[in-house]
């Protein structure tokens, strides 16, 4: 008998029908197999991820993001895909560095940098540039809602759940430069 497919199980899971710990366990199983090269997180399509986040409670997502190893894997995968979802047709001549700080405090924040240049989006895990055009600060739960099309950047900004330092006007149009999945 073959091993169950954790990516398929994750894609088929309905967070509304499972508990917080079961949700964490599903993501943890997929994450461990991906680390060992036995599964590929890229097999989870963006629409499946968006649906998973849309059906998960804030407590379920928070429980996943509270686990440093899972948080790193999820965020790394999201940022890895940003280059694939960058809409160079909409970006035209956009030249910018966007810095992300995902977390509730300075110490626990995960940091990423997106360099938008020449019609491409390159992601760095550590800042490579001194002068970002914009820095976006957001909690992990709200970030996942945003990148999965389950939250609106203007609403998050107006409610204080998303903070911006730098060019606010540029930040307001940033989501238009990416193909955001729909659940």
Domains of the chain by residue range = 6-83, 85-177
Using pLDDT thresholds of 50, 70 and 90, give the confidence band for residue 1.
very low
The candidate with the shortest Cα–Cα distance to 127, out of 148, 105, 109, is 109
Angstrom CA distances, 7 to 102, 105, 180, stand at: 25, 31, 21
pLDDT digits (tens, 9 = 90+) for 137-157: 999 999 999 999 889 999 999
CA distance 183 to 167: 30
Architecture of domain 85-177: 2-Layer Sandwich (3.30)
The phi, psi pair for 142, rounded to 5°, reads -65, -35
Residues 117 and 92 sit within 8 Å (Cβ to Cβ): no
Of 1-5, 134-138, 145-149, the poorest mean pLDDT is in: 1-5
């Amino acid at each position: 008998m073959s091993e169950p497919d954790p990516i398929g199980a994750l894609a088929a899971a309905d967070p509304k029908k499972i508990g917080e710990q079961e949700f964490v366990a599903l993501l943890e199983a997929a994450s461990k197999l991906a680390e060992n090269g036995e599964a590929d997180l890229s097999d989870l399509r963006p629409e499946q991820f968006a649906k998973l986040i849309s059906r998960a409670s804030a407590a379920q997502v928070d429980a996943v993001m509270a686990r440093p190893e899972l948080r790193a894997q999820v965020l790394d995968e999201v940022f890895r895909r940003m280059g694939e979802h960058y809409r160079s047709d909409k970006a035209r001549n956009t030249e910018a560095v966007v810095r992300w700080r995902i977390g509730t405090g300075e110490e626990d924040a995960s940091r990423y940098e997106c360099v938008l240049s020449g019609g491409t989006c390159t992601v760095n895990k550590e800042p490579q540039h001194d002068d970002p055009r914009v820095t976006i600060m957001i909690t992990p739960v709200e970030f996942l809602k945003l990148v999965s099309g389950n939250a609106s950047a203007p609403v998050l900004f107006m409610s204080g759940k998303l903070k911006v330092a730098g060019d606010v006007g540029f930040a307001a149009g940033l989501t238009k430069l990416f193909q955001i999945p729909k659940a």
